[in-house]
Each structure stands twice: as C-alpha cells, then as structure tokens.
Amino acid sequence: MTAALALALRRAGENPTIVKIVQTGVKPRGEGDAQHAGRLAGVAHVELARFENAGDPWSAALAEAKPPLTAEWLADEVAKIPGTIVAEGIGGIMVPLNDGENIGHVAALAKLEAVITVGLRLGCINHAMLTRSLCRELNIPVAGAVLVERWGRTDPTYRDRVYCVLQGSLPVLGVLAFAAAETQSVEAGAKLFESLVKQER
C-alpha cells in the first residue's frame, strides 16, 4: 500500500518520501519497511526510529532499556522532511509508543491524512470502524479505505458485503486484488491510487 501510493504520486509529478514512523524487529543494518517500499516505488525513504526487538515500540524500547518514544518528537521529525510524505505506521493506529500515546497521536500532531488498509478477513469491519472512530476522536482526516486481499483471493460475496457495510460511513477507495508477485501488487495499487491523485488536483 505504501509503495503503491508513493509510486502513484511519483508518476503524478510529485517527489514523495516514504516515512516509517517506527521500525521494530529488524537488525541495525537490515532492510526496513521504508527502505523496501522506497525501492519498490523508486522514491526516497526515511526511518524515524528503530528497535531490533519485534513488537510494539513501547515494549521494544523497554526490552532494549531505551526511553520510550514520544509523539511530539516523532511529529517534529516528520515536519523536517520536505515535500509530500507517505507515512507508514506499525500495525495500527492504537499501537502504543509509551504509557499514554500511540501512533495516532503522531498522525494528529503531524497533520497527516489517513488511508485505512482493510485486510479482507474475519474481523476486518470491526478493525476498520474502530480505526475510523479513533481518527475522528483525534481529528485525523481520513481519505478513505482500501480493501486488500492480502492473504489470498477472497470470496466475492464476502468482499462485496464488507464493501457495502463500510461504504456507509467510510468511503471505500477501491479493492486491491491478491497478486502472488509483490511488484504486481504495487503496480495494481499504483493504478488504483493514480485516479485518486488526479481527483485531488
């Protein structure tokens, strides 16, 4: 999703930077999510913080005896990056940074707009609506949701039902069909986002 949106923006003439808010579970010299997505989209990438321990940033910081991150510091780092930002969180908007803040607080302070990725499987409607609810609470604008066949092809009837339920309160921007090859998925996602980028102009 991140690589697809960045690729669409690049093709539209912009100069996006993929920003990973926090990377966990990757060794110091390992390829992180931002670097991987940047390579697929052919754009710049930035990683704001990294922990070798897997899991949420708060527990990872505690496991490595490091001070927990704060939303203000991360938002300030985002503000230093010029141009269009394509930010990627870590597992969801409620993932904790410390005992009182989560990834959503970073998005709110950095004035980011959210695109909610809805992996098509049992529980996805609940996840999408809870995310939408928290975005409203934090005053984070939501461009819409993209339904993603991440784990394999979905029963069309189930996919259509999810679409109909969400469309009432959360605009569904499109469906990203399953593709065995990652590059095919990124290309299909870029085509989906290209039409949306044109509408924004």
- pLDDT per residue over 98-116, tens digit each? 999 999 999 999 999 999 9
Rounded to 10°, the helix 2-11/33-41 angle is 40
Res 198 pLDDT > 70: no
pLDDT value of residue 94: 96
Distance between CA atoms of residues 18 and 156, nearest Å: 32
Please tell me the predicted confidence (pLDDT) of residue 37: 97
Tokens of 165: 């339920």
- Residue 59 near residue 32 (C-beta atoms within 8 A): no
pLDDT of residue 26: 96
* Domains delineated in the chain: 2-200 (3.40.50.300)
| Nearest C-alpha neighbor of 101 from the set 19, 21, 161 | 21
Which of 3-7, 63-67, 139-143, 149-153 has the lowest average pLDDT? 149-153
Q: What does R_g of the chain's alpha carbons equal in angstroms?
A: 17
CB 97 within 8 A of CB 136: no
Residue 201 reports pLDDT greater than 60? no
